[in-house]
Each structure stands twice: as C-alpha cells, then as structure tokens.
Amino acid sequence: MLSFGFSVENKGYLLDLGLIDYKKAWDLQHLFWSKRVEGKLSDLLLILEHPHVLTLGRRGDRSSLRVSPEVLEEKGIPLFQVERGGEVTYHGPGQLVGYPILNLKDYGFRVTRYVEELEEIIIRTLKDFGIEGRRDTRNRGVWVQDKKIASVGIAIQRWVSFHGFALNYQTELKYFDLIYPCGLKGVRMTSMKEILKKEISRGLLVERISFHFKEIFQREWEEKSLEEIQKKIGG
C-alpha cells in the first residue's frame, strides 16, 4: 500500500487528456512508464487526440513518406521517430488514441496476446456502433472489409507497456495521403464517420472504449485528471 492510499496491484486510472501536443503526451508516457516500473504508480490508460503529426516506429524510415520534409514543414506537421513497433502512422483531430501503461506480468499477457486484446477492444467498440471490424494477422490493427480503421503500435520495456492504439472516428482521411500507412503501399484508410455517414459522439466513443478496456484489463478503474496523477507522483 502506497502512502497516497491505493494499491498498485488493484487500482487503475483512466485519464482523458483531450487534444494534446504529441511531444507532451510522449513525455508523459515516459514519466508514467518509469513510475509504473518503480511501483510508484498504478496502471493507466491515457485517452486523447493529437494535433496533426506523423510518427515513425522502430521499423519506419522516410521511405514511407510520400512527400518531402519540406512539404511537411510547410503544412506545419511535425515528424517524430519513436520507440513503438511498426512503421509510419498519422495522428490528428478526430482520431481517438489510447496509450495503456500496464504491467503486463499482472495479466499474464505476452506481446502477441496483448496486441490481440487491444484489437479486441476496438472490434467490440465498433460493434457497439454497428460496424463489423476484423483482424489481419499479417498486418496488425483493425480493418473494415478491405480498409484499415485502427492502428496498433506498442512498446514494452521491463514488462510495462506504452504507446498503443489509434481509432479513426471522424478523422480527415486526406492526411493519410502523406504516407504509406504502416509502410504498406495500396492500403486505404477509413473512419467510423465515413462508414456510418454521420457525426460520431466523442463522449459515447470514449465511454465504450473505456467499458471494453475495463472488461479485458480488470482492475478497480477510476477516472482521474492529469493534475491528480501528477500530484500523486509529485510531478
């Protein structure tokens, strides 16, 4: 039992950070990951959106970009090389991102099972909205027919996860034209809005994602603000 009154083994925290700069969220992941490794913080799920940004995973390089760095600079779209798996992806408004920071030993999950469970959360959530998602074991993420609607890219160090998943709910899909998504030529992206032909409630989407996340990763989950978590860890 920690001094601020929760058990790392049993508690978990859900944080909705809204629209947040990629670098700031990346720094928060590193901070929370380190505290989780040290046993000074419980499991967390960060739910958020990013301003327009491109990220390259461990296998990614600039050959997956369809435009020059100069074009990205003109458009005001930063590019980050990060430690998650996978290649290139786009994040932007209208895309719900989840960064679970979990000690996977507590769940008995190996890497493949963990990725499958993240996909399962998305598949169950899409079903709530009347959309049938599917897996492709050759290309991770979630697909609707022949189009990709959600990406999964994770990092696991010392058994604690970070990075995570990104679901297009009403994303401006034209920004995917800047890249070969996941390094794959010919991949077409879609969104919940494109499929359903209507606006998607972010609040309802967050509620359903959170519900299915809690079903799979069983903890005593509580909603907290960023300020509350920072106060707990003295950050």
pLDDT number for residue 57: 87
Give the CATH number for residue 141.
3.30.930.10
Q: Is residue 229 part of a domain?
A: no
Name the catalytic one among 8, 15, 182, 189: 182
pLDDT number for residue 91: 97
Q: Is residue 228 part of a domain?
A: no
- What does the DSSP 8-state code read for residue 101? E
pLDDT number for residue 6: 40
Q: How many C-beta neighbours within 10 Å does residue 193 have?
A: 17
The angle formed by the CA atoms of residues 224, 90 and 119, to the nearest 5 degrees, is 60
Q: Is residue 99 part of a domain?
A: yes
Place of tokens 């970009």: 65
Per-residue model confidence as pLDDT tens for the chain (235 residues): 333 334 456 899 999 999 999 999 999 999 999 999 999 999 999 999 999 999 998 877 788 899 998 999 999 999 999 989 888 999 999 999 999 999 999 999 889 999 999 999 999 999 999 999 999 988 899 999 999 999 999 999 999 999 999 999 999 999 999 998 866 777 899 999 999 999 999 999 999 999 999 999 999 999 999 999 999 888 5
In three-state secondary structure terms, 235 is coil
Asked if 182 is an active-site residue, the reply is: yes
Q: Is residue 169 part of a domain?
A: yes
pLDDT number for residue 3: 32
Q: Is residue 117 part of a domain?
A: yes
Q: Is residue 171 part of a domain?
A: yes
R_g of the chain, CA atoms, integer Å: 17
Query: What is the C-alpha to C-alpha distance for residues 51 and 68, in angstroms, rounded to an integer?
Result: 20
What is the torsional sign of CA 33, 39, 43, 48? negative
Q: Is residue 181 part of a domain?
A: yes
In the chain, the number of structural domains is 1
pLDDT number for residue 58: 80
Give the helix ranges, DSSP H, for 85-200.
111-128, 192-196
Which pairs with CB-CB distance under 8 Å and at least 24 residues apart come from 71-75? 71/178, 72/178
Decide if 44 contacts 13 (C-beta within 8 A).
yes
Query: What is the C-alpha to C-alpha distance for residues 206 and 225, in angstroms, rounded to an integer?
Result: 15
Q: How many C-beta neighbours within 10 Å does residue 220 have?
A: 13
Task: Find the largest Cα–Cα distance for the chain.
Answer: 53
pTM: 0.93
Q: Which domain holds residue 171?
A: 11-220
- The tokens for 192 are 């919940």
